[in-house]
Amino acid sequence: MVHVEELIQLPRDFEGFGEHSHDPKWPNGARIAVSFVLNYEEGGERNVLDGDATSEPYLWEKGPSGGGREHRHLNGEQDFEYGSRCGGWRIARLMQEFGWNMTIFAVAVAMERNPSFAKACVREGHEICAHGYRWLDIWDYGLEEDKSYIKKTLLKLEEVTGEFPDGAYFGRGTPNTASLLPVVWKEMGRLMLYTSEVYNDDVPYWIDHPSEKDLPNEEKEGLLMVPYNYDCNDGKFHMSPGFTSSAGNTYEAYLKDAFDCLYREGAKMMTIPLHSRITGKPGRSEALRKFMMYISEKEGVWVTTRRDIAKHYRSTFPYKPGSRAGGGS
């Protein structure tokens, strides 16, 4: 049963920055910040070999008809293995080709099972962001289980990558996980720079954290939200209606349209969510490369990690209680 801890629920906000949005003042006058995010989950998915009740039915090439069996499903297992053996490296080579860094939404056990990839990501300057211990739903965890799971994720990622995450996107948590994340970081003597457990804006913003409501203003730290999205997510190749086919050209066109809109408006952020086993396939990676070529030819495009977006925003708009834009409001 889902437990909702009312005192720590993050508030809903239907107003945002309003009619004129908000200018994050990107470095060097950039018109747009672009964040490539690789969801690295291969090896952390459901598998009866790991004691799960079923094989993984979600986000692999057979789409809604795949997986979910109460025994090993080799087809699904090997599609995930393609992501770790080939797809992740292909995406990493694309980043190297353009001289860009990406954020890895890293499942801890997946990283542990491919240590050479984990080390290469850090060596190349890509950011390790916490994406859970395994790629599982934990919706029924109690508060202490939830906190323990977050802590286990962070410690394992630090162990296998050598890097303690500065941010988080679990995506499959409880209604309390998003609020518990900065609490666990703090209990571990760390500062969480940002969370991406939010989909409701085109720019970062601050919220007042419920756990700090009774603290003096000078002791409050707030919570920086760096929005994620589903509309540009390559997972839609395996969702209905999604990108309507396995071909990459529809995906490429949509990414370009999204970029063009945000670039024309200016002072925006664009996220491109990727999966090793999806865009890591040759036909789709070629579509991604064409998009990368397209934006590389534009002026004022800052391709960066979410960690660096958070660092910029924190220094330019430090937290101010009651303000979405922080000290810059």
pLDDT at residue number 245:
61
Q: Is residue 285 part of a domain?
A: yes
User: Domain span at residue 237?
Assistant: 25-328
Which of the two residues, 99 and 62, has the higher pLDDT score? 99
Q: Is residue 298 part of a domain?
A: yes
Which of the two residues, 7 and 150, has the higher pLDDT score? 150
Phi, then psi, of 248 in degrees rounded to 5:
-85, -15
- What's the average model confidence in pLDDT over 105-123? 98
- What's the average model confidence in pLDDT over 118-135? 98
* pLDDT above 70: residue 317: yes
**Cα separation, 83 vs 276, whole angstroms:** 4
Q: Is residue 14 part of a domain?
A: no
pLDDT at residue number 58:
83
**Cα separation, 284 vs 242, whole angstroms:** 14
Phi, then psi, of 30 in degrees rounded to 5:
-60, 145
* pLDDT above 60: residue 182: yes
Residue 244: left (phi > 0), alpha (psi -120 to 50), or beta? Answer: left
* Cα dist from 167 to 54, 224, 318, whole Å: 30, 10, 17
**Cα separation, 8 vs 212, whole angstroms:** 10
pLDDT at residue number 276:
98
pLDDT band, residue 304 (cuts 50/70/90): very high
In tens, the pLDDT along 248-262 reads 688 999 999 999 999
In tens, the pLDDT along 260-277 reads 999 999 999 999 999 999
pLDDT at residue number 57:
83
12-16: list long-range contacts, CB under 8 Å, 24+ apart: 13/200, 13/207, 13/324, 16/200, 16/201, 16/205, 16/324
pLDDT at residue number 103:
98
Q: Is residue 13 part of a domain?
A: no
Q: How many domains does the chain have?
A: 1
* pLDDT above 80: residue 152: yes
Q: Is residue 303 part of a domain?
A: yes
Q: Is residue 1 part of a domain?
A: no
- Structure tokens belonging to residue 176: 């309390």
* pLDDT above 70: residue 151: yes
pLDDT at residue number 68:
73
pLDDT band, residue 2 (cuts 50/70/90): confident
pLDDT at residue number 126:
98
Which of the two residues, 55 and 110, has the higher pLDDT score? 110
- What's the average model confidence in pLDDT over 205-220? 94
* pLDDT above 90: residue 30: yes
The rounded mean pLDDT for the chain is 94
Q: Is residue 230 part of a domain?
A: yes
In sequence order, the 6+-apart residues with CB closer than 8 A to the CB of 11 are 207, 210
CATH of the domain at 89: 3.20.20.370
pLDDT band, residue 327 (cuts 50/70/90): confident
Beta pairing partners, 301:
32
* pLDDT above 60: residue 122: yes
Instruction: Report angle CA 39, 56, 142 to the nearest 5 degrees.
Output: 75
Q: Is residue 5 part of a domain?
A: no
* pLDDT above 60: residue 188: yes
